[in-house]
């Protein structure tokens, strides 16, 4: 009698289950760490009881932060060419010049700019109004104020 050999061909498929496991672990890590990320410098924001406004996804967001020592900082997405000015405290005049340059550059690219002010609750009203006046000189028409959610 002739023997029938049952030869199996090697499977040429790659097992992707370990890769899916790694991706799920990375997803969990990013979901846990994302809420912990802060934007800009530490500012103690005032609290209000209003609803959160919807954000326009087609525009760039420029955030001006005012610390309790009346120093100004700015922060914007990485799409705009910026120098290291955002990493150090600015005077009102320096902030106005930096915002003017950012606004002109962003508008020349055909994009809109949304400007928000994050003022520390220990900063007096006059300092925030000075910042808003500087933003108006820089060509900003509308300014949003950022507060803590209740």
Q: Report the number of secondary-structure helices (H) and strands (E) in the chain.
A: 3, 4
Considering the domain boundaries, does residue 123 fall inside one? yes
Structural domain count of the chain: 1
- Per-residue pLDDT, 38: 61
Cα separations in angstroms, 50 against 13, 65, 68, 105, 108: 55, 21, 24, 33, 34
Considering the domain boundaries, does residue 5 fall inside one? no
Considering the domain boundaries, does residue 16 fall inside one? no
Token pair for 53: 């406004």
Structural domain boundaries, residue 79: 59-145
Per the confidence metrics, is the pTM higher than 0.85? no
Considering the domain boundaries, does residue 36 fall inside one? no
Q: What is the pLDDT of residues 56-102, one digit of tens each?
A: 566 778 888 888 888 888 887 543 334 434 567 888 888 888 888 88
């Amino acid at each position: 009698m002739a023997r029938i050999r049952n030869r199996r061909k090697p499977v040429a498929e790659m097992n992707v289950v370990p890769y899916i496991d790694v991706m799920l672990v990375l997803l969990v890590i990013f979901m846990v760490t994302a809420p912990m990320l802060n934007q800009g410098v530490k500012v103690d924001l005032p609290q209000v009881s209003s609803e959160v406004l919807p954000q326009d996804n087609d525009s760039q967001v420029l955030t001006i932060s005012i610390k309790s020592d009346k120093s100004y900082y700015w922060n914007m997405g990485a799409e705009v060419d910026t120098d290291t000015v955002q990493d150090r405290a600015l005077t009102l005049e320096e902030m106005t010049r930096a915002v003017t340059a950012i606004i002109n550059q962003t508008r020349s690219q055909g994009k809109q700019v949304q400007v928000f002010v994050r003022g520390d609750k220990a900063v007096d009203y006059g300092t925030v109004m000075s910042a808003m006046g500087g933003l108006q000189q820089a060509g900003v028409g509308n300014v949003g104020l950022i507060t803590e959610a209740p």
